[in-house]
Chain A
Amino acid sequence: MMSLPARLGALSPYLQACGPLKALLPRAVNTEVLMKPAVCGHFGARLAHTDIKIPDFSDYRRIEVLDAEKSSQESSNARRTFSYLVTGSTAVVGVYAAKTVVTQFVSSMSASADVLALSKIEIKLSDIPEGKNMTFKWRGKPLFVRHRTEKEIAAEQNVDLSELRDPQHDRDRVTNPTWVIVIGVCTHLGCVPIANAGEYGGYYCPCHGSHYDASGRIRKGPAPLNLEVPYYEFPDEDTVIVG
């Protein structure tokens, strides 16, 4: 691309400086001969448009258009496709990079690792013997993990749903019937029930006398709902991650 200030005559005001200088020289010197070639030089000439030489851009040309005696039409499709492909893929990569950067910055405002760590609890199940209920602190609340015996499992599964205040079958409350995992907060007014107590072989809340069974369901007493079952999963036989 070429730009050219065409009117070099625009520089002539700066060349008027030739004039005043004359007076500074001693009179004896012939000023005519001195001034003209020294300062005014080429600036009086004006370019004709045919004197403008388009520079040789061969260093920047693609190989297909280096030859001045070959029509550029044949390669024009290929060149254009190449340019568009490069532009297109750069755009795709750029959009992906932008999306990644933005999500990284935005998600930095979400919960940090230490907070997230508190939200899950990993429990080693082999520590809990059969028939025993263990309590853990999880998200500020007590978490009951109960290792049920075969008898308890069978009993709970055979309970008639019409007897229950909050009907839920046992299989809907557990993933693996051997393990019952519930939040140990009484649904009546929030006390912590006592394990292996009460008339139904489950839990008993001492505050107002709510009886829960081995599946955590309310059987007797003022509590309206069954004990809450949190989200948990078994990554392997021996561990459960709650939360």
Chain B
Amino acid sequence: HLKPTEIQRFQRTSRQSAVVVVHTVDKMVASMWRISGAVNRAFGRAGYPLLLSLRRGQASVSYAQSLLGAPETRLTTLSNGLRIASEETNQATCTVGLWIGCGSRYESEKNNGAGFFLEHMAFKGTKKHPQSALEKAVESMGAHLSAYTSREHTAYYMKTLAKDLPKAVELLAEVVQSSSLSEADIEQQRNVVLRELEEVQGSLQDVCLDLLHATAFQGTPLGHSVLGPSANARTLTRNDLVEYISSHYKAPRMVLATAGGVNHDELVALAKQHFSGISFEYEGDAVPVLSPCRFTGSEIRMRDDALPLAHIAIAVEGAGAANPDIVPLMVANSIIGSYDITFGGGKHLSSRLARLAAELNLCHSFQAFHSSYNDTGLLGIYFVTDKHKIEDMMHWAQNAWMNLCTTVTESDVARAKNALKASLVGQLNGTTPVCDDIGRHILNYGRRIPLAEWDARIEGVTPRIVRDVCSKYIYDKCPAVSAVGPIEQLPDYNRMRSAMYWLRF
């Protein structure tokens, strides 16, 4: 245990005096302090400054504190149904944005791509601020204005100084409610959208995963890509965009989320001022209800032997966002993990599949993923590999799945839980990720799930639970497979289907 003289030195030189990491690292810290103390004293006598500060065993904030110390996310609902959520931290900057519960899943075959097109049109000027005025307003604040569209969510957000919050909220309100959508801009943006479609063909990861959704959810709206087909990009009219806005940009489906140095009450007042006008009624009372989307075990092969590497994704139907099974599934994905050929761990990597990939040169990269939507999801593995290694990589990837369903061990799960907790905490490193987290959580769950709750849920996962949940979703199920590139070696679908179970008993 620490001697009194060493404790004094500890408290004098540590930057945050409130923290003394006593429980697990004290012995190590104590020995390090004795060594560093001795060395420092030696150097001090020789006239050298305190060079060797061996304080690496000491964290600035302990994990337990980071969980409980996070400020509460406050949630208010306006009379028209708009929800306002904010997490206040003492920072000079903030991210404020509108998260809307609409995306390509709400589009039909005819207007698939409208949301994406609208995202392009969003910053082309509003009724009060034509494009140059809008740009000037944003630039003069030194703010960043961005947007993204996904299958179930659309977001418009701004990263700015906390003191510029009123102006930011005003601009966002205008962008969402009174975008000018001029015909000239629409025509100009058509080419931009088509160029972007062309460019995305070069990003084979996006192509592969889009095709995976297209085949897995064939015949359903979840199969639509966010970008939409090129024909729609050429033919969408202003009317289509206006209709899209009027059917989906409704207050109950919107969340005004903020993170950073923002006061919740101030935000609510601003929201009342700018967002009260958003309607909550639908034309003809036709409230769009999300119907379930059928998953089809199937495959799509886009063979092109001129490409250097094959991009392949295999997935089974996963759990919806609000399903309690997502926690064991996240742990399961953590067990498989991810890998890139540039990883230095080699045969000492913790994930078994990664070790095999490194030793047998199976792939250039792989990652286990779980995309969850409202009521369904895709749980899968995506990998990029050389054309001669496809069969082996697919075999070992499915083998990893089978191990999850049958032989996952206590140490696997313990390691995965730690990695998952670390990544959840580590991802919230800034006002923008936090704001995004808030927006998506309110849309998916109706509340922000705090880190402490994630931690508790993750802690409750045992190997038996991982095995049971994985068996429920993976074992002997028909997968959806999508492959792009030189994929001659990809096994026949029946063989991949047979690898989804083991001949046990």
Residues of A whose CB lies within 8 Å of any CB of B are: 1-7, 10, 46, 48-52, 54, 56-58, 65, 67-73, 76, 80
Cβ contact of B211, chosen from A49, A68, A70, A72, cutoff 8 A: A49
- Known contacts A71-B292, A80-B476, then 5 further A-B pairs from the complex at CB < 8 Å, ordered by chain A residue: A1-B298, A2-B215, A50-B227, A58-B219, A76-B477
Please tell me which one of the listed residues A2, A51, A67, A69 contacts residue B300 in the complex, with CB atoms under 8 A apart: A2
Q: Closest A-chain residue to B493, C-beta based?
A: A1
Q: Are B210 and A73 in contact (CB under 8 A)?
A: no
| Closest-CB distance, B317 to chain A (whole angstroms) | 6
- Flag if A3 contacts B303 (CB, 8 Å): yes
Asked if B198 is at the interface (CB within 8 A of a chain A CB), the reply is yes
Q: How far is the CB of A173 from chain B (nearest CB, A)?
A: 56
The reply on B412 being an interface residue by CB < 8 A is no
16 contacts between A and B (CB under 8 A): A1-B493, A4-B300, A4-B302, A6-B304, A48-B198, A48-B200, A50-B197, A50-B225, A50-B229, A50-B230, A52-B302, A54-B218, A57-B218, A69-B294, A71-B293, A76-B477
Q: Which residues from chain A contact B225 at a C-beta distance below 8 Å?
A: 49-50
B490 to chain A minimum Cβ distance, whole angstroms, is 11
Instruction: Contacts A49-B201, A49-B207 given; indicate if A54 touches B295 (C-beta within 8 A).
Output: no
Given A6-B304, A7-B304, A80-B476, A69-B296 contact (CB < 8 Å): no
- Tell me, in angstroms, the Cα distance from A71 to B306 when the chains sit together: 38
In the bound complex, CA of A100 to CA of B303 (Å): 45
Minimum CB–CB distance for B287 against chain A, Å: 16
The number of residue pairs between A and B whose CB atoms lie closer than 8 Å in the complex comes to 95
B107 within 8 A of A: no
Taking the closest CB of chain B, its distance from the CB of A42, in whole angstroms, is 13
Please list the 8 inter-chain residue pairs (A to B) with the smallest Cβ-Cβ separation, ordered nearest first.
Answer: A69-B291, A68-B219, A54-B218, A50-B225, A6-B304, A49-B207, A71-B292, A48-B197
Q: Which residue of A lies closest to B291 (CB)?
A: A69
Is there contact, CB below 8 Å, between A69 and B298? no
Instruction: From known contacts A52-B211, A65-B296, A68-B294, infer whether A73 and B317 are also in contact, taking CB-CB under 8 Å.
Output: yes
Chain A CB within 8 A of B231 CB: yes
Instruction: Using CB atoms, name the residue of chain B closest to A71.
Output: B292
Please give the number of chain B residues whose Cβ is less than 8 angstroms from any Cβ of chain A in the complex.
42
CB–CB A71/B295 < 8 A = yes
Indicate if the CB atoms of A1 and B296 lie closer than 8 Å: no
B296 — which chain A residues lie within 8 A by C-beta?
57, 65, 72
From B113, B214, B228, contact of A54 by CB (8 A): B214
What 0/1 readout, one digit per residue, does chain B (71-84) give for beta carbons within 8 Å of chain A?
Answer: 00000000000000
CB of B214 within 8 A of CB of A52, answer yes
Chain A residues near B200: list those with CB within 8 A. Answer: 48-49
Query: Which of A3, A10, A58 meets B301, CB within 8 Å?
Result: A3
Complex alpha-carbon distance, A46 and B302, angstroms: 14
Min CB gap A212→B, angstroms: 65
User: Is chain B's binding surface mostly helix, strand, loop or mixed?
Assistant: loop
Chain B residues, CB < 8 A from A5: 303-304
Residues of A within 8 A of B228 (CB): 50
CB nearest neighbor in B for A3: B301
B476 touches A51 (CB 8 A): no
Interface residues of B in 411-458 (CB under 8 A from A): none
Complexed CA–CA distance, A76 and B293 (Å): 14
Considering the chains assembled together, what is the distance between the CA atoms of A51 and B109 in angstroms? 11
Q: How far is the CB of A53 from chain B (nearest CB, A)?
A: 8
B215 lies within 8 A of A54 (CB): yes
Shortest B349–chain A CB gap in Å is 32
Nearest residue (CB) in A for B214 is A54
Question: Which of the residues A52, A68, A80 comes within 8 Å of B293, measured between beta carbons?
Answer: A68
Type the 1/0 row for B204-217, where 1 means its CB is closer than 8 Å to any CB of A: 00010011001100
Chain B, Cβ-Cβ closest to A84: B476
Q: What residues of A have a CB within 8 angstroms of the CB of B293 in the complex? A: 68-69, 71
In the bound complex, what is the Cα–Cα distance between A56 and B298 (angstroms)?
12
Residues facing A in B43-64 (CB within 8 A) are none
Give Cα distance in the complex from A101 to B230, angstroms. 59
The residue among A65, A72, A76 with the most chain B CB atoms within 10 A of its own CB is A72
Contact B219 A56 (CB under 8 A): yes
Which residues of B439-491 are within 8 A (CB) of A?
A: 476-478, 484
- Per the bound structure, the CA–CA distance linking A49 and B113 in Å amounts to 13
A-contacting residues, B256-301, CB 8 Å: 291-296, 298-301
Separation of A68 and B229 alpha carbons in the complex (Å): 21
Closest to B492 in A: A1
- Closest-CB distance, B319 to chain A (whole angstroms): 10
Among B113, B300, B478, B484, chain A packs the most CB atoms within 10 A around the CB of B300
Chain B residue nearest to A65 in the complex (CB): B294
| B229 CB contact (under 8 Å) in A46, A51, A67, A80 | A51
Instruction: Give the contacting residue for A48; candidates B201, B291, B298, B375; CB below 8 A.
Output: B201
Contact between B295 and A72 (Cβ–Cβ < 8 Å)? yes
- B303 to chain A minimum Cβ distance, whole angstroms, is 6
Contact A48 B230 (CB under 8 A): yes
Judging by beta carbons under 8 Å apart, are A6 and B303 in contact?
yes
In the complex, what distance in Å separates the CA atom of A65 from the CA atom of B296?
A: 8
Residue on A with the closest CB to B232? Answer: A50
A3 to B113, CA, bound (A): 24
B62 shortest CB reach to chain A, Å: 42
**Set of chain A residues within 8 Å of B317, measured between Cβ atoms:** 72-73
Contacts of A10 in B (CB 8 A): 306
Q: Shortest beta-carbon distance, B83 to chain A, in Å?
A: 28
Contact between chains at B294 and A70 (CB < 8 Å) = yes
Asked if B220 is an interface residue, CB under 8 A from chain A, the answer is: yes
**Is A1 a contact of B302 with CB atoms below 8 Å?**
no
